[in-house]
Structure 1
Amino acid sequence: MNVLLLGSGGREHALAWKLAASPMLKKLYATPGNPGIAREAELVALDVADHSSVAAFCREKEIGLVVVGPEAPLVAGLADDLRAAGIRVFGPSRAAAQLEGSKGFTKDLCARYAIPTAAYGRFDRLEPARAYVEKTGAPIVIKADGLAAGKGVTVAMTMAEALAALEACFDGSFGSAGAEVVVEEFLTGEEASFFCLCDGTTALPFGTAQDHKRVGEGDTGPNTGGMGAYSPAPVMSPAMVEATMREIIEPTMRGMAEMGMPFSGVLFAGLMMTAEGPKLIEYNVRFGDPECQVLMMRLKDDLLVLLNAAVDGQLGHMSVRWSDEAALTVVMAAKGYPGTPEKGSPIGGVDEASGEHVEIFHAGTAVKDGALVANGGRVLNVTATGATVGAAQERAYRAVDRIDWPQGFCRRDIGWRAVERETAK
C-alpha cells in the first residue's frame, strides 16, 4: 500500500519511522516533511490547502491511505474533500474536528452529555469576560477558542495575569483563534494524556503519556507546544483508564454520533486527575506532539494495520500491544522559543547520539549547504526507552549531551514526577 503522510514535525517523523516498519507499506510519501522524515519517505511538494491538488496526487500515485499529522488541515475539512474524491484518509471530518478547533464546542458537548470537566463561560467580547473573571477570581484559566499552536492557554494564578490574557486574546495576539474566549475553573490535580483510535463507533484505548507544557524546569514559565513527554503515565491506573472510558470517551463518541458527526481518527484527551476522578481539560483530534514520539517507541503492533482498521470501521476486532518498557522524549528547542526562535544555527552530532534504545526525531530542522540547521522553535526530540522512566531519562539526556548545538536548550527535568514515584518505592 502507498501512503501519504502530511506534516513536518517530530510527531510526523515518529509516524513515518513507525509506518516505514510495516510489511504492508509499499511506498511512503510525505509533504512537506523534514530531513529526518526524508530518511523514511519520499518528500513531495504539495499545497495542502489546495485539496483538489492533494487528491490529484493521491490518484496519480495510487495512494491507499492518507495520514494527516497536524490539526489545521483537519479543521479545514481536508478529510471530507479527500473522502468525497474516493480517497481513504485517517482523520476526522471538519465537523468532528471541532472538538479541537473550538474549545467552546467541546465545553458545550461536555455540558450536554454530562462529561466531567471544569466549569466555564464563553465570551466574544472583553467586558463580559472581564466581569466573569472578576466575579470568579484567580487562579483561573483563559483559553483562546480556536487553534493557537498550543500557545493560546493561560493558567492565570493572579487577576492581573488573567486580565492580561483576556486582553491579549481580544487584541488579536492569537489572530482569529482569540475572537472568542473560554474562561474555565482552575482544576487541581495531576495532568495526563489519554489516546484512543476511533472508527466512528468504537474507541480503542491507545496509550497514556504525560507531557511538560511549561518552558522552564520545575514547570515554570510560559506554555509551549510541549518540552518533553514520557509514557506510560503512572497516574493512569487501570481504574482511571476505565473511568475515563466510561465517563468521558464513550459519552463523547455517542454524542458526536447523535449530532451527525461521528468521530474517526485519533481522539486525544487532555485530562486532570482530580479528587473526584478524571476531568476533561481539552480534546485534540490528532496524535500529540511530543506524546506521539514516546507512543511510537512503545507500540509493538503494526501502526499501518491499526490505522486501516480505524478507516474501515474494524477497531472492534482489534487490540493494541505495548512494550513493558517506558519511553521518554526531551525536546531540544532553539533559543528564544516559545517567543521568536533563532533559526539557522548548525547542529552536529545527531547521528552519533542515536543508537540502541535511542531515536532522535526531527521537528524543526533543515539542511543548508549540506549541514543540518535549526529551522523552528522545537527542533529535535531526543527519545529513549528503558526498563523504568528513570532509565529512559538517563539514556535520553546522555544522548542530548552528545549533540553539538550551543544555540539550543532543553529542560533537564523531563519525567520528574514518574522518577520521584519510582525512587519513593
Structure 2
Amino acid sequence: MIVLLLGSGGREHALAAALARSSALTKLIAAPGNPGVAEHAELRDVAVDDIDGVVALAKAETVDLVVVGPEVPLVLGVVDRLAEAGIRAFGPTAAAARLEGSKAFTKELCAAHDLPTAGFRHAKSLDEARAALGAFGAPVVVKADGLAAGKGVTVATTIEEAHAAVEAIFADAGAEAVIEEFMTGEEASLFALCDGETALLFGDAQDHKRAYDGDEGPNTGGMGAYSPAPVLTPEIAERAMAEIVRPTIAAMKAAGTPFTGFLYAGLMIEGGAPRLVEYNVRFGDPEAQVVLPRLKDDLLELLLAAVDGRLEDKAPAFSPDAALTVVMAAKGYPGAYAKGSEIRGLPQAQAREGVTVFHAGTARDGERLLANGGRVLAVTATGADVREAQARAYAAVDMIDWPEGFCRRDIGWRAVARLEE
C-alpha cells in the first residue's frame, strides 16, 4: 500500500516509525515531514493546511490511505475533501472534528448525554465571561473555544488572573470562551481507536504540560510523557471507556456525524472516578512518542480496519514495558525562541539501549542538524518499568550537545514515586 502521512512533528515521526514496520506498506510519503520522518518516508513540500495541495498530492501519488497527524487539517475538512476525491483517509470529518475544534460543542454534548465533566458556561461575549467568573470564583479554568495548539487554557488561581485571561481571549473579534469549574485530582490521557461505531482502548499516558521542573512555569504543548499511566488502572480505564468514550461515539453516530480516528480523552481522576477534561481528535504529542513504541500490532492494519469499520473483532496489544520521553525545547519556549542552532550527538544518543530520538522541530543544512521549532526533540526510552525508562532517557539526553536547548529533569516523577512507595 502507498500511504501519505500528514504532519511534521514528533507525533508524525512516531507514526512514521510505526507505519514503517507494517508488512502491508510498500511506500510511505510524508508532507511536509521532518528529518526524522525522512528516515522512513519520502518527503513532499506540501503544508498540512493546504487542503487543495494535499488532495492533489494524494491523487498524483495514487495513494491508498492518508493518515492525518495534526488537528488543523482535520478541522479544515481534509478527510471530507479526500473522500470526495475517492481517497480513503484515517481521521474524523470536519463535523466530527468539532470535538476538538470547539470546546463549547464538546461541553454541550457532555451536558446533553450526562457525561462526567466539569461544570461550565459558554461565553459569547466579554460580559458573559465576566458573569461566569463571578459565578465560579477562583480557582477557575478559562479556555478559548477554538484550536489553540495546546496553549489556549488558563488555570487561574485568582479572580484577577481569570479576568486577564478572558480579556485576552475577547481581544480578538468573534472570540468565544468556555469557563469551567476547577477540577481536582490527577490528570491522565486515554486513547481510543474508533471506526464510527466501535471504540477500542489504544493505550494511555501522562504528560507534563508545565515548562519547568516541579510543574512550574507556563503551559506548553507538552514537555514529556510516560506510558502506561499508573493512575489509569484497568478498572478506571474501562470505566472511562464505558462512561465517557463509548457514549460519545454513540452520540456522534446518532447525530449523523460518526467519529473515525484517534479520540484522545484528557481525564481527571479523583477517588477512582474519571471525568472528561477535554477531547482531542488525533493522537497526542508527546504521548504518541511513548504509546506507539509499546504497540505490538501492525499499526497500518489497525488504521485500515478503523477506516473500513472493522474494529469490532480487534484488540490492540501493547508491550508491558514502560516508555518515557523527554522533550528538548529551544530556550525561551513557549515564548520567543531562536531557530538555527546546531544539534550534535544524536547518533551516540540513539545508539543507547532502548532509545529512540524523535524529531519534532528540526531541519537539515547539509550534514548539520538544526533546531527549527519550539519543541525540537523527543528523547524516548523503554524499560522494564518507568524508573528504568527514565534513567535510559536522561542518559541519552545527556549525550546530546545542544547548549541552546533545555528540558525538564523530572519527567515521570509521579510514576517513579509510586514505585518507591
CA deviations on 1:376-404 (whole Å, 9 max, x unpaired) are 00000000000110110000000000000
- Return closer, same or farther for 1:161/1:272 CA change in 2, 3 Å cut-off: same
Could you tell me which residue of structure 1 aligns to residue 31 of structure 2? 31
Could you tell me which residue of structure 2 aligns to residue 239 of structure 1? 235
Could you tell me which residue of structure 1 aligns to residue 405 of structure 2? 408
Which whole-Å CA distance do the structure 1 matches of 2:184 and 2:51 have between them? Answer: 42
For the pair 1:10 / 2:10, whether they are aligned, the reply is yes
Could you tell me which residue of structure 1 aligns to residue 218 of structure 2? 222
* Aligned pair partner of 2:195 in 199, 217, 233: 199
Could you tell me which residue of structure 2 aligns to residue 375 of structure 1? 372
- Return closer, same or farther for 1:369/1:61 CA change in 2, 3 Å cut-off: closer
Contact 2:48 2:72 in 1 (8 A): no
Which whole-Å CA distance do the structure 2 matches of 1:49 and 1:221 have between them? Answer: 31
CA deviations on 1:211-261 (whole Å, 9 max, x unpaired) are 001111111111100000000000111110111011101110111011110
* Aligned pair partner of 1:277 in 259, 273, 276: 273
- Return closer, same or farther for 1:226/1:80 CA change in 2, 3 Å cut-off: same
Q: TM-score, normalised by structure 1?
A: 0.97
Could you tell me which residue of structure 2 aligns to residue 97 of structure 1? 97
Amino acid aligned to 1:136: F
Where do 5+ consecutive residues of structure 1 fail to align? none
Which whole-Å CA distance do the structure 1 matches of 2:151 and 2:55 have between them? Answer: 31
Q: Secondary structure at the match of 1:422?
A: helix
CA-CA distance at 1:127 after TM superposition: 1.8
Amino acid aligned to 1:185: E
Contact 2:236 2:272 in 1 (8 A): no
| Equivalent residues in 2 for 1:345-364, closer than 5 Å | 345-355=341-351, 356-364=353-361
CA deviations on 1:246-304 (whole Å, 9 max, x unpaired) are 11011101110111100000000000002371000000000000000001110011100
Q: Secondary structure at the match of 1:117?
A: coil
Which whole-Å CA distance do the structure 1 matches of 2:48 and 2:420 have between them? Answer: 47
Amino acid aligned to 1:334: A
Could you tell me which residue of structure 1 aligns to residue 166 of structure 2? 166
C-alpha RMSD over aligned residues: 1.1
Could you tell me which residue of structure 1 aligns to residue 129 of structure 2? 129
Could you tell me which residue of structure 1 aligns to residue 63 of structure 2? 63
Which whole-Å CA distance do the structure 2 matches of 1:48 and 1:402 have between them? Answer: 33
Q: Secondary structure at the match of 2:67?
A: strand
CA deviations on 1:340-372 (whole Å, 9 max, x unpaired) are 122111100011100330000000001124311
Amino acid aligned to 1:216: Y
Amino acid aligned to 1:318: K
Q: Secondary structure at the match of 2:312?
A: helix
For the pair 1:296 / 2:292, whether they are aligned, the reply is yes
* Aligned pair partner of 1:384 in 378, 381, 386: 381
Sequence identity of aligned pairs in percent? 62
Amino acid aligned to 1:279: R
- Return closer, same or farther for 1:340/1:208 CA change in 2, 3 Å cut-off: same
Amino acid aligned to 2:203: G
Could you tell me which residue of structure 1 aligns to residue 396 of structure 2? 399
